[in-house]
Amino acid sequence: MSVEGTRRATIDDVARLANVHKATVSRALNAATRHQVSAATVERVERVAAELGYVANAMARGLRTSSSMAIGVVIPDLTNPFFPPIVRGIEHFLQPRGYTVLLANTDSSEAIERAVVASLLGRRVDGLIIASGVKDHQSALAEAHAVGAKAVMLNRDAGSALYPLVAGNDASGVAAAVAHLAQLGHRDLVHIAGPLELSTSATRSSAFVEACRSIPRARARVVEAEALTVEAGQRRMDRVITEGGRRPTAVVAGNDLIALGVLRSLRDHGLTCPGDVSVVGFNDITFAEDFWPPLTTVRVPTHELGMEAARVLLEGIASGEQEPTTLLLPTSLIVRGSTGPAAAR
Amino acid sequence: MSVEGTRRATIDDVARLANVHKATVSRALNAATRHQVSAATVERVERVAAELGYVANAMARGLRTSSSMAIGVVIPDLTNPFFPPIVRGIEHFLQPRGYTVLLANTDSSEAIERAVVASLLGRRVDGLIIASGVKDHQSALAEAHAVGAKAVMLNRDAGSALYPLVAGNDASGVAAAVAHLAQLGHRDLVHIAGPLELSTSATRSSAFVEACRSIPRARARVVEAEALTVEAGQRRMDRVITEGGRRPTAVVAGNDLIALGVLRSLRDHGLTCPGDVSVVGFNDITFAEDFWPPLTTVRVPTHELGMEAARVLLEGIASGEQEPTTLLLPTSLIVRGSTGPAAAR
DNA sequence: TTGAAAGCGCTAACAA
DNA sequence: TTGTTAGCGCTTTCAA
């Protein structure tokens, strides 16, 4: 059996078979205007529509109403388990409200981000949720802003206050992680940050430095991984271990993927965790508890993050204006097996 | 600074400022028709368009051309790490070809699947890639087929041959897993399948039974988990352990998430892996190597799966017809730490 | 309660 | 090489 292109039923087809004008069909099929049509007509129209498998053409509707009922969601890396729960949070908020989510990956590339935002703008999305955002990624964002597009930044601040921001409270999360390590007796700490041009990396990094100030006799330093990936984390930890000097007894990683790279690096060098080195991650991605050892990490409320971003966006769309507010959701430290007492020196 | 709704520039705005007719603007801005316009005009139009931040309205274009240049992708669970690489494979194939991917999650719910497919059909996607597909999910699929929509099934066969199928070679993967276990001396095997109404579960399950037939003196049985999740796998393994009778020395899981649940269950019951029980997963999701113990599993070429599904779909769109062919990509066994010699009895 | 008519922004056939 | 015209399928005034 082969599938051939059948012409899709239009509102005129329904009108003809139901013996009414297409305007009446439109009214009968839309919840907001259904009450203007007699019950008998509504019933008849619905029956015919079902028979024909009629589904209204969203492009025609959008063209007429100048609303696409679509929201563009831009994320840097779908394969990072941090993002899927956020996307589901966004969908859980938007779908019941009739919106379609257009999801786009950028692979953390500014060029792709520009292309993708242009494509979404071309589809006349009613708003954008942007979880990408290298600091100097102003072009795509500025373009969106220039044409008056509604948007919300998620998790990453693009540096300039063009749009509202919804994120986890990174600073308090890092502070909790450092306090936990301090209490375990750690005095030699390293923070392996993500690329510092990312606002989250910058925030976490300065929070780390700040938090370490209050630990007496602590030696703390920050090093930078090239990316928020397992491989980059592993490579950077390799260097920390091999470059000589005093080896840290604890590592605070910029995110869970970097932390996982740290764990791999430790294994490769015959070091134990948490015996030789304690490790704390960030985000509490799915499976963090299944790594070996189970990862102590800062939990970020991903689902809520997505829901809130969607809520803030819809508010902006409804009110017709947006203020660049900041909404920080609380984070919490989840203590598992990758942190333990500092080895005696 | 607040964002207010500015009217988006249209092709008429560009035409006016460039002192040409809008048809000329259309020609100048489309690669396929650009050669019909004088170089000077193209240059002028492009400059004006850039000045105005003009982005063509995809809804208007789609309405006119009756092509949305969008492909709908339906998946059951974005948070299952198996799917994101597939989605990226799809995007990598489609984006360079000018298509936008509309991604939709169903949470494995038939009701959501129906709603989501209707929504995508309403947006007049040029085609669908469906990685959902509970066996009796005929309604959404049948509806799509009835209106002549192009589609490809990915990984899961919906049972009826409405559309082409692209999937991994599950049977050979399971056979390799069983052969590996047999060679390690295992004779008491259990397969914890996913819901058997899923075609993949059914395929893997019968492949398991078949493969076990060739092991002399083997005792093999199949049990069913309620879902392809960690929790369902853990619960099912709990029952296997506590229900008494002879405990299996090896478990073949329906997918990696179930396998992870099995690992958790073993830990909870004070059993070691692979010392007491060997475990094999399926899919080789990201992080499978970071579990404890690192998971022996069957690798499915996810990225290629996505690329191939997109390719097959575009072929169907271009040719105007589709045959319900089946394309199986090769799988391979990845041996890690979760399998070892059977304990002596 | 229903119908008629206009128009959203674009492309493509036809004309010049 | 450029302009004119029509129309994709829908919603929304305005009229009846």
Q: Does B64 contact strand D, using a CB cutoff of 7 Å?
A: yes
Residue ranges per structural domain of chain A = 11-56, 68-168+302-329, 170-300
Q: Which residues of B touch A324 (CB under 8 A)?
A: 1
> What average pLDDT does this structure show over A235-248?
94
Q: Which residues of A touch B150 (CB under 8 A)?
A: 3, 5
The sign one gets for the Cα dihedral B140, B145, B149, B155 is: positive
Checking if the pLDDT of B159 tops 80, the result is no
Alpha carbon distance A77, A195 (integer Å) = 15
Question: B190 phi and psi, to 5 degrees?
Answer: -125, 140
Q: Which residues of A touch B291 (CB under 8 A)?
A: 287, 290-292
**Yes or no, beta carbons of A102 and B105 under 8 Å apart:** no
pLDDT in tens, B167-222: 999 999 999 999 999 999 999 999 999 999 888 999 999 999 999 999 999 999 99
Give the DSSP letter string of B44-58.
HHHHHHHHHT----H
Q: Which CATH architecture has domain B170-300?
A: 3-Layer(aba) Sandwich (3.40)
Q: Kindly report the nearest CA distance between residue B217 and chain A, in angstroms.
A: 35
Checking if the pLDDT of B78 tops 90, the result is yes
Q: Looking at the domain B68-168+302-329, which fold is it?
A: Rossmann fold (3.40.50)
The single-letter DSSP state of residue A155 is S
Alpha carbon distance A90, A75 (integer Å) = 12
Q: Does A30 contact strand D, using a CB cutoff of 7 Å?
A: yes
Q: What is the pLDDT of residue B132?
A: 73
Q: Does A101 contact strand D, using a CB cutoff of 7 Å?
A: no
Alpha carbon distance A203, A50 (integer Å) = 54
CB-nearest to B56 from A9, A122, A264 is: A122
Q: What is the pLDDT of residue A5?
A: 46
d(CA B41, C1' C13) / Å: 22
User: Which of B190, B187, B189, B188 is CA-nearest to residue B216?
Assistant: B187
pLDDT in tens, A85-137: 999 999 999 999 999 999 999 988 888 899 999 999 999 999 999 997 666 55
Q: Are A89 and B87 in contact (CB under 8 A)?
A: no
Alpha carbon distance B99, B111 (integer Å) = 27
Alpha carbon distance B248, B180 (integer Å) = 16
> What average pLDDT does this structure show over B89-101?
94
Alpha carbon distance A193, A208 (integer Å) = 10
d(CA B89, C1' C14) / Å: 43
pTM listed for this prediction: 0.93
Q: What is the pLDDT of residue A288?
A: 96
Alpha carbon distance A228, A14 (integer Å) = 53
Checking if the pLDDT of B131 tops 60, the result is yes
Q: Which nucleotides of D are covered by protein (CB under 7 A)?
A: 1-5, 7-13
CB neighbours of residue B180 within 10 Å: 19
Q: Which residues of B touch A273 (CB under 8 A)?
A: none
Q: Kindly report the nearest CA distance between residue B78 and chain A, in angstroms.
A: 6
Alpha carbon distance B284, B296 (integer Å) = 8
Q: Which residues of B touch A8 (CB under 8 A)?
A: 124, 147-148
**Yes or no, beta carbons of A58 and B124 under 8 Å apart:** yes
Alpha carbon distance B254, A221 (integer Å) = 45
Q: Does A210 contact strand D, using a CB cutoff of 7 Å?
A: no
Angle subtended at Cα A44 by Cα A41 and Cα A47, rounded to the nearest 5 degrees? 150
**Yes or no, beta carbons of A88 and B105 under 8 Å apart:** yes
Alpha carbon distance B212, B187 (integer Å) = 9
The protein residue nearest nucleotide C5, judged by CA to C1', is A23
Angle subtended at Cα A124 by Cα A123 and Cα A125, rounded to the nearest 5 degrees? 95
> What average pLDDT does this structure show over A212-234?
95
Average pLDDT over chain A reads 93
Question: A26 phi and psi, to 5 degrees?
Answer: -55, -45
pLDDT in tens, A165-182: 999 999 999 999 999 999
Alpha carbon distance A11, A210 (integer Å) = 64
